[in-house]
Amino acid sequence: MRAILTASSDEGQLIILSPEMERQELRRWRQTRSFYCPQCEGPVQLKVGDIVTPHFAHRKDATCSASFSEGESPRHLNGKQLLYQFLSAGNHDVVLEPLVNEISQRPDLLVKTGKSKFPIEFQCSTIPISLLEKRTDGYHKAGMQPIWILHTPAKLASRAEGVGIFQFSKFQEWFITKTSPEDDVLLTFNPHNQTFHYFSSLLHVVGQRYIGMHRILPLHFQVFPFARPKAPIENEMRQYSNLYESLRQKELQNRILLNRKGIKDPFLRSCYEMKMLPTQLAPWIGVPIPGNWAFREADVEWQFRFIHFLKRNEIPFSDVATYSIERFVHGFNGNFTEKTLACEQYIHFLSQQSIDFASLKTDYTENVVLQLISERFLANER
């Protein structure tokens, strides 16, 4: 049975279940009143247990399901109720579980501000990413920008606030959004503690691993549009730099000590052909340039392989054509265009630093990692 929080009464009144409603009163309603689905107008049952959030449910043989999302869990129902209360208390024009007729979709909430409408989806269960994209495309076709809020993952809810290293699943990564050109944010909500958990200023490291800021915001301090986290301050950016450098060194050590492919490993093969040990790489090989998240590989790997590619083809840093970059990125999985842009950013960085092939074994000591991180986050504040 599909669970919903809204239903029409015998009198045609829209009933919205809220946490303040007494279960005893709801049980009385269940015995004395009838309720109907606001979409299909078919009868629904009022479910009032001792543990699960009270809700309405279609009967097993009901056919009204097309516009509803996947089956409701108690935490999903509770989260929707809390978000509805929060938005209603802020005098926003908000509707719970409305049907968007033109696309036959029903977001958890719909907030209207002026001429704009914002569907809000609170996602608790793991579903195919293709379904998330389909629903998002539907909202875009209706001229609306959806706001997806992920239920705070259990392994992240207990993490201390501040700078840290975070591992996200591919599903969780999908919910990362850009609040500015280079500021990636994952917004999550924990109904149990009534707290929002922000994972912001995310700096990709390798795979699904990021360095970022974790901040906790109680529900009663939240605003709409949802609060935007501040960029890291100076001492926090130094923590970013130290963590990044530490992970870079660990990556290089692991490639030597834990590698099972031997010389067949593309990175080690590049090192062999360039007659260099991984520990000899200059500090400007493996830096967090803008757009580095396009590569799943560590920065030190794809950047050195790029340098090897240019060296092998006798292409100077100062004269790299787009088609040469495209040849290189074809050897990696993922978005072709985004990887090309990342390589162009790296070439731009090398040009700014006046680095050429002759400096591959340089004593270059400038802290370029801290420099790049500072430029990135300070730009977000402007």
Residue 352 confidence (pLDDT): 86
Residue 169: strand, helix, or coil = coil
DSSP symbols for 110-146: EEEETTEEEEEEEE-S---HHHHHHHHHHHHHTT---
d(CA 241, CA 248): 10
Average pLDDT over residues 15-40: 89
More confident residue, 318 or 182: 318
Taken as a whole, the chain contains a residue count of 382
Tens digits of residue pLDDT in 52-94: 889 998 877 667 754 555 557 889 999 999 999 999 998 889 9
pLDDT of amino acid 66: 45
Amino acid of residue 365: T
Is the alpha carbon torsion for 233, 234, 235, 236 positive or negative?
Answer: positive
Using the 8-state DSSP alphabet, how is residue 316 labeled?
-
Phi and psi torsions of 66, nearest 5°: -60, -40
Of the listed ranges 105-114, 156-165, 172-181, 323-332, the one predicted with least confidence: 172-181
Average pLDDT over residues 34-48: 89
User: For residue 2, what pLDDT is reported?
Assistant: 64
How confident is the model at residue 49, as a pLDDT?
87
Q: Give me the mean pLDDT over the 29-44 stretch.
A: 89
State yes or no: pLDDT of 313 exceeds 90: yes
One-letter identity of residue 34? S
| pLDDT, tens digit (0-9, with 9 covering 90-100), for 230-256 | 999 999 999 999 999 999 999 999 888
Asked, as a colleague might, if the bond just before 225 is cis with ω within 30 of 0, I would say yes
DSSP 321: -
Q: At what angle do helices 234-257 and 368-381 cross, to 10 degrees?
A: 140
**pLDDT average, residue stretch 171-194:** 91
Question: What pLDDT score does 353 carry?
Answer: 83
C-alpha to C-alpha distance for 39 and 226, rounded to whole angstroms: 29
Cα 195 from Cα 279, distance rounded (Å): 44
Give CA separation, 52 vs 12, 22, 70, 157, 280, in Å: 26, 14, 17, 22, 60
Question: What does the DSSP assignment read for 2-54?
Answer: -EESEEEETTSPEEE--TTS-HHHHHHHHHH--EE-TTT--EEEEE--SSSPP
3-state secondary structure (DSSP) of residue 150:
strand
pLDDT at 147: 97
Higher pLDDT, 290 or 256: 290
Supply the pLDDT for residue 39.
79
Rg (CA), the chain: 26
Torsion of CA 69, 70, 74, 76, to 10 degrees: -50
Tell me what the mean pLDDT of segment 33-50 comes to.
Answer: 89
Beta bridge partners of 189: 151, 196
**DSSP type of residue 227:** P
Distance separating alpha carbons of residues 373 and 382, to the nearest angstrom: 15
- Give 299 or 280, the one with higher predicted confidence: 299
Mean pLDDT within 141-155: 97
What mean pLDDT, rounded, does the chain reach?
90
Q: What is the spatial distance between Cα 102 and Cα 116, in angstroms, rounded to a whole number?
A: 16
pLDDT digits (tens, 9 = 90+) for 197-234: 999 999 999 999 999 999 999 999 999 999 999 999 99
- Model pTM? 0.87
Measured from the Cβ of residue 227, the count of other Cβ atoms closer than 10 Å reads 14
Amino acid at 320: V
Which of 120-124, 252-256, 373-377, 378-382 is predicted most confidently?
A: 120-124
pLDDT higher than 70, residue 371 = yes
